[in-house]
Amino acid sequence: KKRPHFGEVFAKGRQGDQDVHEDLIFLSKDTLSPGIVRATALSLLSSYPAKKSFATLETALSDADALVRQTAISTINLLQFDKDATLIFPLLYDPVKAVRIQAALSVAAIKNLKLTHDQKEVLDSGIKEYISTMEYSSDFPSGRYNLALMYHSLGKTDKAIENYEQSIKIDNLFLKAVSLDPGSFDFLFALADHYIKKTGRTMPPWWPIK
């Protein structure tokens, strides 16, 4: 049986069609496909919280393609599995910066980590590298949004809100784009909850659901 074109698979995957779960897994592992195709297939596995998805993502963490590794890290976060820091921590040593900083964001979000002194230094270095990278692109809404994600992970919610608000000031359409991402809801809810408790007001003006 001929497999469908990846475009068809992605279209159905974005709708959460269970019939393409196996096709997405196949595409993510198909080394004959371009890295961007494989990475996109991995990202869509966030809609399929099954053991097969997690096993596929875990394998992808050691893939030869940096984009695939980076996407595997971010997608594992969205799947809400109990994250084992030992799974992602080695990627803080990755030779590719984009992978290292994605790993830093992921590990920073894991609470009650027990790290050795050396491991803490590596994580701190990764966090600094992430923040430095995003500050360099802070003229763009995505840079500010990514800073907000990191500060939220670090428990610095005021700074997270500040950067998120800046992202909207740079481009007010960015709010709509973020609201379309299912993975952003928990993050935005946490910011809104902090905002309400601190100000005593109702939902913040940047809350995407009116």
- Give residues with Cβ within 8 angstroms of 166, minimum separation 6: 138, 144
pLDDT of 9-48, one tens digit each?
A: 999 999 989 999 999 999 999 999 999 999 999 999 988 8
Residue 126 scores a pLDDT above 80: yes
pTM of the model: 0.84
Nearest CA to 128 among 150, 145, 96, 113?
150
Sign of CA dihedral 142, 143, 146, 152: negative
Q: Where are the domains of the chain?
A: 1-81
Two tokens, residue 55: 């096993």
pLDDT of 143-169, one tens digit each?
A: 998 999 999 989 898 999 889 888 888
- Name residue, tokens 């980590």: 113
Sign of CA dihedral 56, 131, 34, 46: positive
Q: Tell me the fold of 1-81.
A: Leucine-rich Repeat Variant (1.25.10)
Q: How far, in Å, are 6, 31, 55 from residue 3 at the CA level?
A: 9, 15, 22
